[in-house]
Chain A
Amino acid sequence: MTSRADSSSSRKIRSRPDRIMRQSMENRLVHWLVALSTFALIFSGFGQMPMYARYGLAALPYMAWTADYHLTLTMHYLAGTALVFAIILHLVSTIATRRFTILPRRGDFRESAKIIAAMLGRGKEPVSHKYLAEQRLAYAFIGGNLLMVTITGLVKVVKNLPGIDMDPTLIFVATTLHNASAMLIVLGVLGHFAAFAIKANRNLLPAMLDGTVDRKYAEERHGLWYREIEKR
């Protein structure tokens, strides 16, 4: 089965000949919910480390609140619920509709190397499916760490409840994994931004706003996906 984005693309192609539908409303909602909640979680999480009073952020105008553990903890909890909502929506919907195009495939590391080499002017970039091999790997990296940070975060939420006495070793392991996966997410987010330093990738930006990409770009870079939807 194809995605709603794919199915609606034919309508879009008819109405806007230069554009092609790439991301459904659902995908965009999940992306922005994950993005905004993750930013709030990273910011409030560093506030819980504790860092903002020590390193002077709280001394800046209008930033005194950042040193308030009560506020940043509440922010962390609220943003956490938004992230859990987005992850469950994405996982259940993806499995139910069997849209696995973004999952890594065999040979993705090799293909990523070819794509990067092509960007550096060595060889020709292989034609891709809906996602480039490196995009599939990035999805797995960020998604895997988001799952880890969420599961360990939920353990920590349960541990904080009154009447719950959890094994200290389990708590230590959960906290260490939570901190480690959070740091890896920070790296992943930086990598995600860095990807847009490459001009060709900027063609994908509108896909997370109005859902579309340039038809010519899709044809050239995501030829396998383009031909698939053209057949319909």
Chain B
Amino acid sequence: MDDQMSRREFLARFAAAGAAGATTLALPKEALAYDSADVEQIGTFIDISKCIGCGVCTDACRSKNAARFPEPVDNIPDNWPTGTHEDWSDKRDLTDRLTPYNWSFIETVEVDGNALHIPRRCMHCDNPPCANLCPFSVKEKQANGAVVINEDGCMGGAKCRDVCAWSIPQRQAGVGLYMKLVPGLMGGGVMYKCDLCADLLEEGQPPACVSACPTGALQSGPKTEMSKLAEERAAEIGGYTYGITENGGTSTFYVSPVPFERIDEAISKRKEELPEPMRKTVPGMKPGVENFLDTANGIAAGYIIAPIAGVAAAAWAASKAWKGGTK
């Protein structure tokens, strides 16, 4: 995708930003809020047919999280022995992909001559491999459903990105815990991604992207309700859903007028045009994508069988010892 914004896109974005600001200001705060005490997990419903690609959600996300963006040291050490490091600090203005400075973006693809705008960010999975497989468990799934990185404890090994079905978390070098230990020799930075505005959820407020959306393409609320809304909307427009079963279930439910296979193909084409390291910054949309933990969880039954077999073997061994043993 071209990094340059077209005049039409600029006008759409400008107009939508104004509309969003006006809408947000005009609405009483209660109208956006829900009672967090009544809600266990929060979900998001994203209606692609209503997204105009204005990018206001991305802007709202950037404004809300600007204070948390990484400020690396001037001379970022290279990782030993690879001699490389991952630095996005000079690309802070990129808004067409995920970076440590851009935790949500609008993917625009063309399918059958029609442009589709798809807001992208962390899906906040039901059983998130990124959090489950973090070697130091510094990433957690909160009770409200938000999957959140503890930026103070992250070493930046980027395993979470590799095991994520969409390669969502992005790494910035030169910041974080590893800089206080043995920088260069161990660790590689800090991973960053959308946290579903967990602080706002605590207050019963929707995430910043949802509040900012001028067209109602993004909605948030109780997860079961959002999932139901997505299915109803898909039935209404004869469309397709994404995120309900993908990766074993997520908290983000997309509805599209075109099949997600087509969207995924279009995204794949864009990715192919990017150099290899950049491909990880553009998440695909493969329907039915499997959870990284499926195989391991399939073997987990072994942990019920092994102790039973152990007791049986011990009974056999002990009986032999009793028979052969002398006092």
Contact = CB atoms under 8 A, between A and B. Distances in A.
B69 interface: no
Interface string B96-124: 00000000000000000000000000000
Given A73-B296, A84-B307, A87-B310, A26 B81 contact: no
B310 A88 contact: yes
Given A48-B133, A89-B313, A97 B322 contact: yes
B326 interface: yes
Contacts of A74: 295-296, 299
Given A77-B299, A160-B297, A165-B143, A175 B136 contact: yes
A93 B316 CA distance: 9
B8 interface: no
Nearest to A25: B317
Contacts of B299: 74, 77-78, 81
A86 interface: yes
A73 B293 CA distance: 9
B138 A54 contact: no
B295 to A, nearest CB: 6
Nearest to A168: B140
A55 to B, nearest CB: 7
A154 B317 CA distance: 25
Given A49-B135, A88-B307, A165-B141, A77 B302 contact: yes
B292 interface: yes
A90 B136 CA distance: 30
Interface in B131-167: 132-138, 140-143, 157-159, 162-163
Contacts of B159: 48, 50, 69
A80 interface: yes
B296 A160 contact: yes
Contacts of A73: 133, 295-296
Contacts of B297: 160-162
Interface residues of A, number: 54
B315 interface: yes
Interface string B204-245: 000000000000000000000000000000000000000000
Given A1-B327, A77-B302, A93 B322 contact: no
Contacts of B320: 4, 26
A86 B310 CA distance: 7
A127 B79 CA distance: 53
A70 B292 CA distance: 7
Interface residues of B, number: 52
Contacts of B306: 81-82, 84-85, 88
Interface string A94-111: 001101000000000000
A179 B140 CA distance: 18
Nearest to A76: B296
A82 B302 CA distance: 9
A174 B75 CA distance: 36
Given A1-B325, A70-B292, A160 B300 contact: yes
Interface in A138-173: 154, 157, 159-165, 168, 171-172
B137 A69 contact: no
A92 B140 CA distance: 36
B126 interface: yes
Contact of B307 (A55, A85, A162, A163): A85
Contacts of B138: 172
B321 A97 contact: yes
Contacts of A56: 81-82
A73 B320 CA distance: 37
Interface string B277-318: 000000000000001110111011011011101110111011
Contact of A93 (B81, B136, B317, B327): B317
Contacts of B163: 69
Given A7-B326, A48-B135, A171-B137, A160 B293 contact: yes
5 contacts: A92-B311, A92-B318, A96-B318, A162-B127, A162-B293
Interface of B: 79, 81-82, 126-127, 132-138, 140-143, 157-159, 162-163, 188, 248-249, 291-293, 295-297, 299-300, 302-303, 305-307, 309-311, 313-315, 317-318, 320-322, 324-327
**5 residue pairs, one from A and one from B, having the closest CB atoms:** A88-B310, A92-B314, A168-B140, A175-B137, A81-B302
